Amino acid sequence: MADAKADSRTADQLARPWLAYAALLAVVTAYGLHALFISGPAMRADAQAHLERIIADEDRDVCGSFGMRPGTRDFIACSLELAHVRQRQADRDTAAAQGIL
């Protein structure tokens, strides 16, 4: 009978792994919420600013290759036309992804 008591686990011993799992789950949840609500919007804003810089550089390079300097009417018209071209390409990409094309 003494052997049975030595091999049996107490409720406290069984609860320890579950407490560790619950603590780990709480930490992972906290990091996930932080990424979703705090870091996520800042990362999206940085990505948007980076995209805008890339587009401005492309506009300057393409329109500049045709002799249009930034700030001129011709450059603005060229930039607007490039924006239309980008939008049409995005529309085509979306249609192709949906299987329309």
pLDDT tens, position by position, 9-57? 666 666 678 888 999 999 999 999 988 888 888 999 999 999 999 999 9
Q: What residue type is 56 in one-letter code?
A: A
- With respect to residue 2, please indicate whether it lies within any of the assigned structural domains: no
pLDDT at 99: 87
- With respect to residue 90, please indicate whether it lies within any of the assigned structural domains: yes
Close Cβ partners of 64 (under 8 Å, ≥ 6 residues apart): 70
Q: What is this structure's pTM?
A: 0.61
- With respect to residue 3, please indicate whether it lies within any of the assigned structural domains: no
**Domain range spanning residue 81?**
12-97
12's tokens: 């406290």
Instruction: Look at the chain and report how many structural domains it folds into.
Output: 1
- With respect to residue 5, please indicate whether it lies within any of the assigned structural domains: no
Mean pLDDT computed over 70-76 = 95
Report the distance separating Cα 61 and Cα 75, nearest Å.
Answer: 11
pLDDT at 10: 66
- With respect to residue 6, please indicate whether it lies within any of the assigned structural domains: no
pLDDT at 20: 87
pLDDT bucket at 62, cuts 50 / 70 / 90:
very high
